[in-house]
Amino acid sequence: MNIQDIQAIQLLLATPKKIAIIPHRGPDGDAMGSTLGLYHFLLKNNHYPVVVSPNEFPDFLAWMPGSETVKIFEKDKQNCTKILEDAEIIFTLDFNALHRTGEMEHVLAQLKAPFVMIDHHQKPDNYAVVTYSDTSFGSTCEMLYNFILFLGKKEDIDKTIGTCIYTGILTDSGSFRFPKTTGTTHRIVAELIDLGVENTEIPSLLFDNSSYGRLQILGRALQNMIILPEHKTAYTTLTQEELNSFDYVKGDTEGIVNYGLSIKGILFTAIFIENKEEKIIKISFRSQGDFDVNQFARDYFNGGGHRNAAGGKSADSMEETKKKFEDLITKLSI
């Protein structure tokens, strides 16, 4: 952020304000961590913040401090619309375009209040008065830490805010493994641990709370995996019927896409997950090295994300989607 942006934010926050904080639809650890971290920071600074999530957040994030206050737009449109209309500032975190909020987009697009974006995805849309967008960061949570520092408020970062920030850094960096994890990332984490953030308990809360059903879903996904060794590609599928048979709950498929990359020689992986209710196949892509899955998702599957982690969707059937994918892999000689 440049000095004008910092001053603009300081002016916006100079007096107590009603503030809505929005993560992307299908919020992950970074989206929840950054919105809740900002929520606690604004609360501490005498504002009236509310996190309004487009839809339900996964169960494995329900322990996060403040998650019980989060309003769910798709469950209570009337109240949430009122909160959004009453807000004097709108923060959008961990996404780059309003359509990432699903149905909420139409409400957000009508609002007159100033927007502030904090995000690390490519190609940010131009809807905010301050756009703090930087793809060099591995997480929006790491950017939130900087954002608070820019405002000269480092001393406000306490165990609660630190817990939220730590969660997003941990999840979006694949537990500190992904390429954007820097020395600075680790120095921030070290400071958070010194503040009392429970760095062994949080990974356990996030990753060691699977249901039996989730493990069975993982097992099925691994069994369904198709390897295209000549293209260094592995992909898998989960149909709605398979999910239902294992008592699927939201969040159960999180992270499964990464298993493909653990196979020797595989550099590109995808998972296709059928969602009958939304009438789409939701897709996640991951790559190792130079292959840009963000561009691939944008070009062919109505999505986006980052170079090595992106997502998209398909309105075709599972079989058609698989065929399109395999044809593309062959055609593009990946």
- Taking the complex as a whole, how short is the minimal distance between the CB of residue 3 and ligand 5GP, in angstroms? 29
User: Is 214 a binder of ligand 5GP (CB under 6 A)?
Assistant: no
User: Is 303 a binder of ligand 5GP (CB under 6 A)?
Assistant: yes
Partner from Mn ion, ligand 5GP, none binding residue 304, C-beta < 5-8 Å depending on class: ligand 5GP
Q: Which residues of this chain interact with Mn ion, rule CB under 5 A?
A: 30, 94, 140, 172
- Taking the complex as a whole, how short is the minimal distance between the CB of residue 100 and Mn ion, in angstroms? 11
- Taking the complex as a whole, how short is the minimal distance between the CB of residue 308 and Mn ion, in angstroms? 13
User: Is 27 a binder of ligand 5GP (CB under 6 A)?
Assistant: no
Closest CB to ligand 5GP among residues 25, 40: 25
User: Is 309 a binder of ligand 5GP (CB under 6 A)?
Assistant: yes
Q: In sequence order, what are the residues at sequence separation of 6 or more whose Cβ sits closer than 8 angstroms to the Cβ of residue 82?
A: none
Closest CB to ligand 5GP among residues 54, 304: 304
Task: Tell me, rounded to whole angstroms, the distance of Cα 94 from its chain centroid.
Answer: 6
Partner from ligand 5GP, Mn ion, none binding residue 130, C-beta < 5-8 Å depending on class: none
Closest CB to Mn ion among residues 140, 294: 140
- Taking the complex as a whole, how short is the minimal distance between the CB of residue 129 and ligand 5GP, in angstroms? 22
Closest CB to Mn ion among residues 51, 113: 51
Q: Which stretch binds ligand 5GP (CB under 6 A): 103-111, 136-144, 161-169, 300-308?
A: 300-308
Sheet arrangement for strand 309-314: 226-228, 233-238, 268-275, 280-287, 309-314, 304-305
| Site residues (CB under 6 A) for ligand 5GP, limited to 311-330 | 311-313
Closest CB to ligand 5GP among residues 160, 303: 303
Closest CB to ligand 5GP among residues 24, 232: 24
Task: Tell me, rounded to whole angstroms, the distance of Cα 297 from its chain centroid.
Answer: 16
Partner from ligand 5GP, Mn ion, none binding residue 66, C-beta < 5-8 Å depending on class: none
- Taking the complex as a whole, how short is the minimal distance between the CB of residue 30 and Mn ion, in angstroms? 3
Q: Which residues bind ligand 5GP (CB under 6 A)?
A: 24, 284, 303-306, 309-313
